[in-house]
Amino acid sequence: MARRRSSWSTVVGFGLVSLAIDSVSDGARPLAGPLLAQLGASALVVGLVTGGAEAAAQGLRVLFGPWADRTGKYWTFTLAGYALTALCIPLLALAPALAASGLVLASTLIVGDRVGKAVRSPAKTVLLAAVAKPIGRGRGFAVHKSLDLAGAFLGPLIASAVIAATGALWPAFAVLAVPGAAAMVLLFWLRRHVPDPGSGRRDAGSDAEGEPERGGGTPRADASRAAKGSARFPPSFLLFAVAAFLWSAGLVAFGVISFHLSADVGTPVSLVPLIYAAAMATAALGALASGYLYDRLGGAILLALPLLVAMVPVLAFSTTAAPVLAGVLIWGAATGIQDSTVKALVADLVAEPRQGTAYGVFAAFEGGGALAGGALYGALYGSRPLLIAAVAVLQALALVLLAVTVRKSPRPARDA
């Protein structure tokens, strides 16, 4: 019982860190375009900077995940990644005062924030998977993601309130230094109470004297053989990653939905952030519900994800407000499941020494799918029936691969 209470407090602690840091990152993200435009950027430059930033957030995890696994220094990567965001976003307040060089600084800092996401995500997820195991990884990831999404909800509200009060962009970035500092203080406190899984594995691989065991080998050699045995990902993980590519290709970015809301539905721009906030609330509920069901039913609960994704273009690209709002809420639920419970199954499919690498590889598949999906939605936006059909085909394939993955997957890992 004491161990479960300790696990819950640590999971909530990580969730509060994510709440604070997402207030910083998501508070600034809607302002990136207006800031770059104010500094003289063209639409092409805005697209390249913001698109490159999101690509870095996903693609660079392939580098930092294996790096964290090789070194075992998961806390080092976690701290460095959070620090990048906590520093880069408030420094954007300096850009308007630097004339022409302000555009270069702002572009660098916007990309730096998302690089921080890539640095910390695989390592932080390994830490979270380890501490959540006694209470159920589905529940742990669900609670963490719900607090994370609360930050994504609060951040834009804070930034909007500051802009309304001051009439300028730069104070909004400066104010976000406060939740950034709070996140770092809490993170250093957690560091003192949560051991590094990498150090635990290294300790298990060697005894105090390094003496050989009676069986003829050393503990270090046994650990080395175990690591080599887990060097290859299981086929079920690879099937799961391909399924992630397919559902990510069908899950439209909210930027396209917001364009549709303002251009074709006639929604006032001032209401779009509120609609996004509603989607984030639904994402939190989706993460919680799917996480608790995952611990009871296993990976079968994820079979709902392609079905939700397939419904999004049917509703969200309607020309009347009510179906669009329903589509946005379904989009939010799918996003919440993708960003929480999906990670629990990755942890249950892959051995612990390879989980950092696995999260990096998995994110690359999701990022590749998102890039393909952007091209798909851009090409077929003018032909709604073709777009709906294309997404339906992608999700049917994803559903088949998910079903095979679920059959091969173990029950959710959870200590007695």
Among the listed residues 149, 165, 31, the one whose alpha carbon sits nearest the alpha carbon of residue 90: 31
- What helix, strand, coil percent values describe the chain, rounded to 5? 85, 0, 15
Kindly report the backbone phi and psi dihedral angles of residue 88, in degrees, each rounded to the nearest multiple of 5, phi listed first.
Answer: -65, -45
- Say which residues have a Cβ less than 8 Å from residue 3's Cβ, sequence separation at least 6: 134, 415
pLDDT at 357: 83
Q: Enumerate long-range contacts of 376-381, CB under 8 Å, 24 or more apart.
A: 376/249, 377/252, 377/253, 377/256, 378/256, 381/256, 381/317
Handedness of CA 358, 122, 363, 244 (dihedral sign): positive
Could you give the CA distance from residue 364 to residue 57 in angstroms, rounded to a whole number? Answer: 10
What pLDDT does 272 receive? Answer: 67
Q: Any alpha helices (H) in 92-136, and if so which ranges? A: 101-132
Question: What are the tens digits of pLDDT across the range 320-349?
Answer: 888 999 998 999 999 889 877 888 888 889
pLDDT the model gives residue 81: 96
pLDDT confidence of residue 412: 56
CA quadruple 297, 299, 301, 303: dihedral positive or negative?
negative
**Residue type, position 277, single letter:** A
Q: Are 367 and 313 within 8 A, CB to CB? A: no
pLDDT, position 1: 66
> How far is the C-alpha of 291 from the C-alpha of 297, rounded, in Å?
10
User: What domains appear along the chain, each with residue ranges and CATH number?
Assistant: 2-196 (1.20.1250.20), 233-408 (1.20.1250.20)
Q: What is the pLDDT of residue 269?
A: 56
Q: How far apart are CA 304 and CA 286, in angstroms?
A: 11
CB atoms within 10 A of CB 79: 20
d(CA 7, CA 333): 26
Given this model, what pLDDT does residue 266 score?
A: 75
Cβ atoms within 10 Å of 406's Cβ, excluding its own: 19
Task: Please report, for residues 70, 240, 405, the alpha-carbon distance to residue 231 in angstroms, rounded to integers and kept in the order given.
Answer: 11, 18, 19
Burial class from Cβ neighbours inside 10 Å (0-12, 13-18, 19+) for residue 22 reads buried
8 A C-beta contact, residue 113 and residue 53? yes
Candidates 347, 332, 239; CA nearest to 289 is 332
Q: How far apart are CA 132 and CA 127, in angstroms?
A: 9
Alpha helices in 211-270 (DSSP H): 219-229, 235-250, 254-263
Question: Which residues in the chain show pLDDT less than 70?
Answer: 1-3, 33, 43-44, 46-47, 51, 198-231, 253-256, 258-259, 262-263, 269-273, 410-416
* Neighbour-count burial of 129, counting CB atoms closer than 10 A to its CB (0-12 exposed, 13-18 middle, 19+ buried): buried
Spatial separation of the C-alpha atoms in residues 382 and 259, rounded to whole Å: 13
In a 10 Å sphere around its CB, with 0-12 CB exposed, 13-18 middle and 19+ buried, how is residue 415 labelled?
Answer: exposed
